[in-house]
Amino acid sequence: MTMYWVIAYFLVLLVALLYKTPIVRGPWLFLLRSFFPNWKFFHAVGYVPHLYARAAKVDVQGQFEWTEWLHLYPRQPQSFWQLFHNTQTNLGLAQQNLIDHFWADLNDSAEGSDPRQLVTYKMVSHFVAVKLSEAYPAHSHTQFELRMLLDNPSQTTHTHVMMTSPIEVRP
C-alpha cells in the first residue's frame, strides 16, 4: 500500500512540474502581493538583484556633481539581541522583497515597454529618494541602477546592469 502512495506522490509532483499556470496580472493584485514574499529566487541559482543609487547637485556651471554609487541594501550585521527584536533587518528584508518584485516585473514586462509605468518602479524611486535625502540632504537629483550580481562566498564575480533610471529631480 505504501508503494502506491509513493507512486501517487511522484505522479502529482510530475504533473505539478509540467503544468504551467497562467500569470495573473492587474494593479489590484499588487496590493495583495505585498503580503507574500517573492519566491522566484528558488527558480535559478545565479544572479541576484541589487539596488545602487547616487545623488547629484548642480554646480555653478550647471553641471552635475555626482556622488559615488551607494549600495542601498548592505547586509545587516547580526547580533544575539536581534534574535528577539529585529526591526531593522525585517525592514531590510521588506525592502529587498520590493527590489525582487521590481526585478520580476522588469523581467516579465514586454520588450521596449516603459518601466516607469510599473508600480514597483514608482515604489523603488520613492525608496531611493528617501534614502538619498537621508545620506545627501543638499543634493537635488537622483538616479538608480538595478544590477544583477553573481556572488560567491567571498566576492562578487560578475555584475550586469539590468536598468538605469533617468535622472530625477528629488521632491
pLDDT of 85 strictly over 90: no
Residue 140 grid cell: 537635488
Residue 2 lies in a domain: no
Q: Please tell me the distance from the alpha carbon of residue 157 to that of residue 10, in angstroms, as a whole number.
A: 38
Domain contains 8: no
Predicted local confidence at residue 141, as pLDDT: 94
Amino acid present at 32: L
Domain range for residue 128?
34-169
Flag whether the pTM goes above 0.75: no
Counted domains in the chain: 1
End-to-end CA distance of the chain: 67
| pLDDT for residue 19 | 75
Residue 93 scores a pLDDT above 60? yes
The stretch 112-121 carries a mean pLDDT of: 92
In sequence order, what are the beta bridge partners of 58?
Answer: 64
Quote the pLDDT of residue 33.
59
Work out the pLDDT band at 11, boundaries 50, 70, 90: confident
pLDDT at 16 over 60: yes
Alpha-carbon distances of 67 from 57, 60, 142, 169, rounded to whole Å: 9, 17, 10, 15
In terms of phi and psi (left: phi > 0; alpha: psi -120 to 50; beta: otherwise), the region of 163 is beta
